[in-house]
Amino acid sequence: MDGVLLIDKPAGITSAEVVRQIKARVRPARVGHLGTLDPFATGLLPILIGEATKLAPFLQGGEKEYEGIVRLGVATDTLDPTGTELETAAVPQLTPEMLSEVAARFIGRIVQQPPLFSAIKREGVRFYRLARGGAEVEPPPPREVEISRLLLDAPDAVSIHFVAACSTGTYMRSLARDIGVALGTVAHLAQLRRLRSGTFALDEAMALARTLDELAGENANRVLIPMRRALAAMPESEADAAVVRRLRHGDSRGLDGLAPAGATLFKVVSADALVAIAEATSRVTARVVRVFGADD
């Protein structure tokens, strides 16, 4: 089994547990995921199976889109509903004009302070492990991220519903905290749902329980997105059987003249299967970056 599964992750389960449950269905195939979702969060979790795990470097850098609820007036140590309450503050009266002005402050490239409870590592240890160990820890260093779209509205006096499109590495928990600060109060991220990851969208995803049932059936492959289609946005070239044999034996000379005009990275396909990902090194030559077996 080689391909991509799109899971609608339920709340209350880690991304690693989703991987573990799927791995139990598809052994001995390798399994990985694109972009961790916190246990309280729901939504799109792309899962890579078998040879598709080699696609991770080519799929994980795309823009992400989320929606969620920011709870105003209460700050927690984790910046989400699973943490300990640290502080409360009064909440100003919210108006559409106020929310529009605050949203505009976060559009574009901004510097964001990641949460202390995060998977970022310091000297090989993840920050959330250091924080839970009780030691006083300096927070992770600020990072530059990009938010291309941010819509805010207030369903009630202490909540903000948001939709955000952002670069990989953007922390929605930090954004919730910073929205609270911009409104003159404190806040935490109460709910989060991922709607999009790169070219993958939530409306293509399937509930975890149903996916596990499908994987246990006779037609398990029908729930997989083939590797070629997972890279639909990447230019491609068709190779004949002789070139495929050469590529799978590490001979890049079979790529000469195959690179599509103007492409740097491109995929090599044969009989609808993904054979390789290659990089053009000149107008006529290229080198193999990844080689794959059949994806059917």
| 95 vs 101: CA distance, rounded Å | 10
Catalytic residues: 38
